[in-house]
A = this chain, B = another copy of it.
Amino acid sequence: MKTTYNQLAGQSSERINAISDAVFGVAMTLLVLEIEVPEIEGDVTEEKLIQAFLTLVPKFLVYFLSFMTAGIFWAGQSAQFRNIEKSDRNLTWINLFLLLFVSTLPFSTSFLGSHIEYKFSIFLYWLNIFFMGMGLYISWNYAYKHGFIAEDTRDIVYEPIKRRILIAQSLYLFGALLCFISPYLSISVIIAIQLNYAFAFISFK
């Protein structure tokens, strides 16, 4: 049997983790470049400076939201690969698919930050989260079906991680649909979902 390139490529989950940390780290840090130090017209005073900063507050909120989003998906990817022992070419590309939508996060964040009160901005932002969720979900299922998850924990970890992705994505979809009632309500609910996942309020109960 001839050895093909496809059998040789992608077994290193270490490298997948390294490129993931690089892309997540850069995306998280680039997000802040959207927030520019305001130009002050006329003489600068402490009051003008404070006011100028306050106009940036919505941008900071969107920034914090996106940092949390990136953090949640980074934690999700980490949780998967702590349990994944092997890898192949397809799993590599599924993860690059996930990273593709991590790297578009600065764009959809900036779009939302500039036009926060429009349904379309929320739709784009949700779409970005949806594709990242898809990436995580396909990655996890693929790893499960191809026996890449460590055997001893395989049956313990598969369901909770899968369930979590599905529940989170359902909540995001629900939050996004609320934009038909009010964009601000929609964003608030999405932020609440993020805070829940980030700070795990439920798990403290």
Contacts and interface: CB of A to CB of B under 8 A. Distances in A.
Interface string A5-45: 11011111001011101111111111111010100100010
Given A17-B18, A71-B96, A118-B49, A32 B103 contact: yes
Interface of A: 2-6, 8-12, 15, 17-19, 21-33, 35, 37, 40, 44, 46, 49-50, 53, 63-64, 67, 71, 74-76, 78-79, 82-83, 89-90, 92-93, 96, 99-100, 102-104, 106-107, 110-111, 114-115, 118-121, 124, 156-157, 160-161, 163-164, 198-200, 203
20 contacts: A9-B79, A10-B79, A11-B82, A18-B18, A22-B24, A22-B26, A23-B25, A25-B25, A26-B29, A29-B106, A37-B110, A46-B120, A53-B111, A63-B104, A67-B96, A71-B96, A78-B92, A89-B203, A93-B199, A96-B198
Contact of A79 (B5, B24, B93, B102): B5
A177 B92 CA distance: 31
